[in-house]
């Protein structure tokens, strides 16, 4: 994407390179998937070790509390990546429609 003076001095022109935009969208999808996969794997490993701790101990309680907060934070981050991807999907659709409309006008 590039922005510049639209030649009129006061306006702006936004140039959207669809291929670059699609690449960013793909990267966001990969990041969202990788984030949850990696964190779930790490949490599973930790759970395996922590399961040997007594349920009523302070250390187990502290871990469980941290794990709940950490899980919620990871879910929020994943949701934010999903919202960003959805916004870029909207930008891509609008850019495509604008190009179609411009082609119709020029025809």
Instruction: List, in sequence order, every residue forming a beta bridge with 73; answer none if it has no partner.
Output: none
2 three-class SS: strand
pLDDT (tens place) for every residue of the chain, 107 residues total: 455 555 555 677 878 888 899 999 999 999 999 999 999 999 999 999 999 998 889 999 999 999 999 999 999 999 999 999 999 999 999 988 888 888 878 76
Question: In the chain, where are the structural domains located?
Answer: 18-106
Vertex 99 angle, CA 97 and 104, to 5°: 95
Among 78, 66, 69, residue whose Cα is nearest residue 34: 78
Q: What DSSP string describes 53-66? A: S-TTSHHHHHHHHH
47: tokens are 């759970």
């Amino acid at each position: 994407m590039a922005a510049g003076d639209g030649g009129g001095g006061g306006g702006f022109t936004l140039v959207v390179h669809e291929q670059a935009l699609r690449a960013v969208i793909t990267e966001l999808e990969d990041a969202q998937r990788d984030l949850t996969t990696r964190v779930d794997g790490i949490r599973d490993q930790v759970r395996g070790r922590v399961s040997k701790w007594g349920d009523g101990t302070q250390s187990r309680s502290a871990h469980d509390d941290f794990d709940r907060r950490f899980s919620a934070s990871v879910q929020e981050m994943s949701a934010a990546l999903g919202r960003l991807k959805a916004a870029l999907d909207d930008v891509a659709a609008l850019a495509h429609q604008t190009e179609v409309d411009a082609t119709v006008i020029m025809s």
